Chain A
Amino acid sequence: MEGKKRPVKLSVHPSRGLVDEKFTVLVQNVPPGFQLTVHALHQCEDGHSWHAFGHYTADSTGAVNVAEDLSLGGTYSGVEQMGLLWSLRPVPGSKPGLRLRKMNVQTPMEVTVSVFRGHQTEGFEDQGPLVSVVVERWYMAPGVCRIPVTEGGLTATLFLPSASGLFPGILDLWGGGGRLVEYRAALLASRGFASLALDYLTPKITLGTGDRVDTEYFETAYRVLQQHPQILSSRIAILGLSLGSCISFKLAVYSQVMKFRCAVCINGSHVQPPGESVQQTLRYIRFSKGDIKKFNFNEKNELSTRNLVLPIPTDPTRKVDVGRLRCPLLLVVSEDDQSWPAVESAIDMKQMMEQAGNSHLLTVLSYPNAGHLIEPPYSPHTRSSNFRTTVDIKSVVLKTLWGGETVDHSRAQEDAWRKILAFFRENLYGRGSALVSNL
């Protein structure tokens, strides 16, 4: 094939990265001042296509560096090194209400990064790009061991950072959607923490018998971490998002069996029946958040449930007594959380802890314009999606509003992850400021 024009050169470093690593996208060998579009395309496990793109103008050497140059428009604008990932959205014509989640963490997410001539906004699939490369994004680092766990009736997966060595442990709890979601635990293991992803809403036992699990189920999970020969039994933490966060408050405060070195709670609430019983909390949530009469749909027919748990009660018998907490707590709070009243709950918890004298344990990270679903960095922002809560077995799929504005939400995810890892390192790897005294 004859070439009259100079071929365009495109490189992405690293070409195989962990999902929380930044990459550098470099375009070279175009004419100076050339207008081009850098485009990312990903086909998710459900078969839907997601894309993102930025409009650039090459400099006098004929190059564009996405990490340093301004995007003039597209799905993101400004100097946005990772915009090609966090601004990914379903391609035009896709089914509404989609959410991007990797369920098989043993394979990488593959993204095709391409350069198109001119500032394009549509029709990418119809034209050939000037050049393309493939980029892999991994949740699992090499050497991380993935171990399915079924002992004691658990439905869980343990991720160990490596086949040898000793590590602190993390119990990882997701929210009301249920299922066994592994990607955050896999990523935590890639960062040096043995992590157990636990399905507590749709485990095999519940699907088989119809019975909800209770606190013993979590105790069994805790023991799996505590007794593992490669896990440091006095350095186990809990991490929860949404309903997982609510349960984390409960277990960290009331459990006699589970002694957590620290807790990270993202966008949940302490408003629930106090005491050890997880089943009580699940019942409470089914009735409060499942109260159809109080459902609030916006003009797009999206359901916001944050008000269903408001107002925060003053009566102490209606909330977890965080004044009794004995370990450091990091609260990650999104100010536009439309699912849970995370801000109001955080304010109330802070007051309770100040009154009880343990507020030195508390750190609150509060993010304006961020929505409920705070995911690992560079994950696309889901403002609303089709959601079926598994807290109520008879529930239907509803278009659910999570909230957040994409740019601020993406910054929040990046900042929160860095701070969450630093918090875990300090408390689980370091000397630790407030020790749990049961050694």
Chain B
Amino acid sequence: MMQQRHKMNMQVAVRRLGSAGGVLSVCHGPKIHTVLRRLSAKAQSPRPILSVAPIRALVDEKFKVSVENLPPAAPVTVHSLHQSEDQDCWEAYGHYISDHRGTVSVSEDLSFGGTYSGKEPMGLLWSMRPVPGSRFGLRLRKMDVCAPMLVNITVFSGHEGFREHAPLASVVTERWHVAPGVQRVEVTIEGMRGTLFIPPGLGAFPGVIDIWGGGGGLPEYRAALLASHGYATMALENFALDDLKGKNLDLNYFEMALDKLKNHPQVISDRVGVVGLSLGAIFLLYLTAESPTFKPQCCISICGSNILSNDGTLNGFYNSMFRNINKSRLDENNSLIWQDVGLEMLCDPTSLVDVGKINCPLLLVSGTDDQSWPTPKFADLMAQMMRSAGKEHLVTTLAYPDAGHLIEPPFSPHFRATAFKVGGNNKKVIMLWGGHTKPHADAQEDSWTKILTFLKQHLYSSH
């Protein structure tokens, strides 16, 4: 964890001295001061230099972590630590060996173990997991996107038991969701919340509507990041899965949001697309196919499905999706698997949207190890429907091997199972999302690049 600041008038402080034998923790005052200085003179051998570049970056930018001035062929561990807004601590680390010049380059060298292995420039971020002793089922999400995520990168000597040693060097790096100058504006549509992120400058930009999944609430981080890439992006509050049941509301709120964005003075109205994850994608696919007024320039579905609401209400969606709720099962850890609940729907065309009615480019992203819903099969089915409608040229399917349901912006940690509200009485279960960490991280990195290219092609470049 972060140490306290040392004060110039040398009040009592805790200090770790690295010396040949091990770790010395001292509280010092004036009496033992000269002893410390003599000791520190002996300990004044060459110090390692740790650098991270860029030290302030957007969350989807890569960094280069390197350590110099180590002894040659020295075993060291490079460690990352982050304290989340929920006060949980997350960490990752890799074991390295310095070269003949005493240098370790995380971008170039191999990690011989830790939370990641092999040549992984960004492993210190995507392989993060809660520190030992943390609560189970945690998820790392930045809710205040106007402040950066702070990550401590530290280098320790040794591999096994590296935590027992004093840190050799440490830096703090900032990871931002917003680029400088991006504006954040709170909006309300029919009493529902939205947040609009506008790129800097007075000009007009292509726009994006961004809708998350059935956890409810208003995560802003993907919208903030898209604005940092030049899209006026509106994140919309979505309904929690629980809230769908019994609600006779239709999806008019989303239609109004798209209209509002198109008519914003800083948005180019014929260059607005939509992106959704999970339940958000379900709504977007339904609206894009069925609504006469909901006409985005392009549509991105991340782990979505073409589920039909028979009466167009939220309750209708709920009934379609959970008709076969008895098919849910538990894994060996008692995590909830809903994959089979969705499988039944694939055979029943009356519960599915005919996406062949969609007339705009469609990008379908899914993970083949999605345990919460059979999204790769839905993606295949949707592609098939587009082909049958003669619109094969509009659809692109990306199915990532061994990735799970929660395909987030790149370098985010992977969550195979997390606490999730379900059951209508604020009860939380552990939902199995699936995926294995390394392939899931690859999927996040690759899909984000392709999402940005897709948006750029259809919202910046075309016509």
The chain A residues found within 8 Å of chain B, CB to CB, are 1-3, 6-7, 9-11, 13-18, 21, 28-29, 110, 112, 114, 128-136, 138, 141-143, 145, 147, 149, 151, 158, 160-168, 190, 192, 224, 227-230, 232-235, 425, 429-431, 439
Chain A, residue nearest B268 (CB): A3
Question: Which of chain A's residues have a CB closer than 8 A to the CB of B40?
Answer: 166, 232-233
* A133–B229 CA distance with the chains assembled, in angstroms: 10
Question: Cβ of B180 < 8 Å from any Cβ of A?
Answer: yes
* A233–B266 CA distance with the chains assembled, in angstroms: 57
Contact partner, A7, options B37, B44, B167, B206, Cβ 8 Å: B206
Sample 10 A-B pairs with CB under 8 A, ordered by A number: A1-B264, A1-B266, A3-B271, A17-B54, A17-B56, A29-B461, A142-B171, A151-B9, A164-B2, A429-B46
Within 8 A of A (CB), among B410-459: 456
Question: Cβ of B176 < 8 Å from any Cβ of A?
Answer: yes
CB distance from B67 to the nearest CB of A (A): 12
Question: Cβ of B145 < 8 Å from any Cβ of A?
Answer: no
A138-B56 contact, Cβ under 8 Å, with A229-B28, A234-B44, A235-B44? yes
Contact partner, B37, options A9, A110, A138, A233, Cβ 8 Å: A233
A130-B170 contact, Cβ under 8 Å, with A18-B55, A142-B55, A425-B49? no
Q: Count A/B pairs, Cβ under 8 Å.
A: 168
Question: Is the beta-carbon distance between B47 and A2 smaller than 8 angstroms?
Answer: no
A136-B180 contact, Cβ under 8 Å, with A229-B10, A233-B40, A429-B46? yes
Question: Is the beta-carbon distance between B180 and A234 smaller than 8 angstroms?
Answer: no
* A49–B167 CA distance with the chains assembled, in angstroms: 45
Kindly list 12 other residue pairs between chains A and B, CB separation below 8 angstroms, not including A14-B54, A15-B228, A135-B180.
A6-B461, A7-B206, A17-B54, A132-B200, A133-B201, A142-B56, A143-B171, A145-B5, A161-B171, A164-B3, A228-B8, A229-B13
Question: Cβ of B173 < 8 Å from any Cβ of A?
Answer: yes
Question: Cβ of B346 < 8 Å from any Cβ of A?
Answer: no
Question: Cβ of B150 < 8 Å from any Cβ of A?
Answer: yes
Question: Which of chain A's residues have a CB closer than 8 A to the CB of B69?
Answer: 425, 429-430
* A161–B169 CA distance with the chains assembled, in angstroms: 10
Contact partner, B41, options A9, A431, A439, Cβ 8 Å: A439
Question: Which of chain A's residues have a CB closer than 8 A to the CB of B179?
Answer: 15, 133-134
Question: Which of chain B's residues have a CB closer than 8 A to the CB of A136?
Answer: 56, 180
A163-B4 contact, Cβ under 8 Å, with A7-B205, A16-B176? yes
CB distance from B90 to the nearest CB of A (A): 18
Question: Cβ of B305 < 8 Å from any Cβ of A?
Answer: no
Question: Is the beta-carbon distance between B204 and A7 smaller than 8 angstroms?
Answer: yes
Question: Is the beta-carbon distance between B49 and A234 smaller than 8 angstroms?
Answer: no
Which of B3, B171, B266: most chain A Cβ within 10 A? B171
* A14–B206 CA distance with the chains assembled, in angstroms: 23
CB distance from A166 to the nearest CB of B (A): 7
A142-B4 contact, Cβ under 8 Å, with A7-B271, A166-B40? no
* A7–B3 CA distance with the chains assembled, in angstroms: 48
Question: Cβ of B376 < 8 Å from any Cβ of A?
Answer: no
B11-38 interface code vs A (CB 8 A; 1 in, 0 out):
0010110000000000010000100110
* A129–B203 CA distance with the chains assembled, in angstroms: 8
Question: Which of chain B's residues have a CB closer than 8 A to the CB of A192?
Answer: 49, 51
B252-267 interface code vs A (CB 8 A; 1 in, 0 out):
0000000000001111
Contact partner, B203, options A16, A130, A141, Cβ 8 Å: A130
Question: Which of chain B's residues have a CB closer than 8 A to the CB of A232?
Answer: 40, 44, 47
* A164–B168 CA distance with the chains assembled, in angstroms: 10
Question: Cβ of B146 < 8 Å from any Cβ of A?
Answer: no
Question: Is the beta-carbon distance between B54 and A2 smaller than 8 angstroms?
Answer: no
CB distance from B150 to the nearest CB of A (A): 7
* A384–B191 CA distance with the chains assembled, in angstroms: 60
Chain A, residue nearest B102 (CB): A430
* A14–B268 CA distance with the chains assembled, in angstroms: 27
Within 8 A of A (CB), among B25-78: 28, 33, 36-37, 40-41, 43-44, 46-47, 49, 51, 53-58, 61, 69
* A161–B150 CA distance with the chains assembled, in angstroms: 16
Contact partner, B174, options A16, A132, A162, Cβ 8 Å: A16
Question: Cβ of B172 < 8 Å from any Cβ of A?
Answer: yes
* A128–B55 CA distance with the chains assembled, in angstroms: 32
* A188–B5 CA distance with the chains assembled, in angstroms: 19
Question: Which of chain A's residues have a CB closer than 8 A to the CB of B33?
Answer: 227
Chain B, residue nearest A110 (CB): B180
Chain A, residue nearest B179 (CB): A15
A143-B47 contact, Cβ under 8 Å, with A114-B201, A131-B203, A234-B41? no
Question: Which of chain A's residues have a CB closer than 8 A to the CB of B463?
Answer: 6
Question: Which of chain B's residues have a CB closer than 8 A to the CB of A151?
Answer: 8-9
Contact partner, A131, options B51, B167, B201, B264, Cβ 8 Å: B201
Question: Is the beta-carbon distance between B172 and A142 smaller than 8 angstroms?
Answer: yes
* A238–B269 CA distance with the chains assembled, in angstroms: 60
Question: Which of chain B's residues have a CB closer than 8 A to the CB of A162?
Answer: 170-172
Question: Cβ of B202 < 8 Å from any Cβ of A?
Answer: yes
CB distance from A22 to the nearest CB of B (A): 10
Chain A, residue nearest B26 (CB): A229
Chain A, residue nearest B42 (CB): A439
Contact partner, B8, options A14, A158, A164, A235, Cβ 8 Å: A158
Which of B9, B173, B200: most chain A Cβ within 10 A? B200
Question: Is the beta-carbon distance between B460 and A3 smaller than 8 angstroms?
Answer: no
Chain A, residue nearest B41 (CB): A439
Within 8 A of A (CB), among B146-175: 148, 150, 167, 169-174
Question: Is the beta-carbon distance between B170 and A164 smaller than 8 angstroms?
Answer: yes
Question: Which of chain B's residues have a CB closer than 8 A to the CB of A163?
Answer: 2-6
Question: Is the beta-carbon distance between B460 and A29 smaller than 8 angstroms?
Answer: yes
* A439–B45 CA distance with the chains assembled, in angstroms: 12
Question: Which of chain A's residues have a CB closer than 8 A to the CB of B144?
Answer: none
Question: Is the beta-carbon distance between A429 and B167 smaller than 8 angstroms?
Answer: no
CB distance from A328 to the nearest CB of B (A): 16
* A9–B231 CA distance with the chains assembled, in angstroms: 10
Question: Cβ of B181 < 8 Å from any Cβ of A?
Answer: yes
A132-B203 contact, Cβ under 8 Å, with A29-B460, A141-B171, A166-B40? yes
Chain B, residue nearest A143 (CB): B172
Question: Is the beta-carbon distance between A233 and B41 smaller than 8 angstroms?
Answer: yes
Question: Is the beta-carbon distance between B8 and A1 smaller than 8 angstroms?
Answer: no
Question: Is the beta-carbon distance between B8 and A147 smaller than 8 angstroms?
Answer: yes
A2-B180 contact, Cβ under 8 Å, with A129-B203, A229-B10? no
* A235–B44 CA distance with the chains assembled, in angstroms: 8
Question: Which of chain A's residues have a CB closer than 8 A to the CB of B57?
Answer: 14, 16
Question: Which of chain A's residues have a CB closer than 8 A to the CB of B15?
Answer: 229
